[in-house]
Amino acid sequence: MYKLSFIIVSIFLAACTESPNNIVTINTPADTTGKNDRTVILTDRTGKKWDITYAYNHYNMDPSQFYYDLGPNAFIPVQNPKFFTPGDPGFPTSTNTNVVIGLNYRGEQRAYPLYILKSHEVVNDDFSGVPVAVVY
């Protein structure tokens, strides 16, 4: 699970916009045990340090290809979204053409419009007590 989480964070960091203030630090280990591993730390414009050592040493990811700038908490997720049901004011008619991400879980159906997900990127929802994150 740790490796998967790290890869997801690495991908997120790589997907963000480039900044001229990116600082990459690569350190060679002090011991001479034959290991070629190097510690690789990225520092974003807020001063937060990101350890990408595993991605660098095990997946040959080039630190100069990581683009980051937004930092954590750049997008505010939608918490406890409200949904319309047929007959409610605001419920889409058959002539509306909204692109959505649809989810059917344990018999509950929900539709998350992309025009909302484009600005929030994450919706934290609850399906009968089961927390679900919808990500775009």
The domain limits of the chain are 2-65, 78-135
Residue given tokens 């344990």 in the structure block:
106
Q: What is the pTM of this model?
A: 0.48
Q: Which two tokens stand for residue 8?
A: 């997801």
Tens-digit pLDDT profile for residues 60-112:
888 877 766 666 667 788 998 988 888 898 888 888 888 999 999 888 999 99
> Hey, what are 112's tokens?
């998350």
Going by C-beta distance under 8 Å and a sequence separation of 6 or more, which residues neighbour residue 9? 50
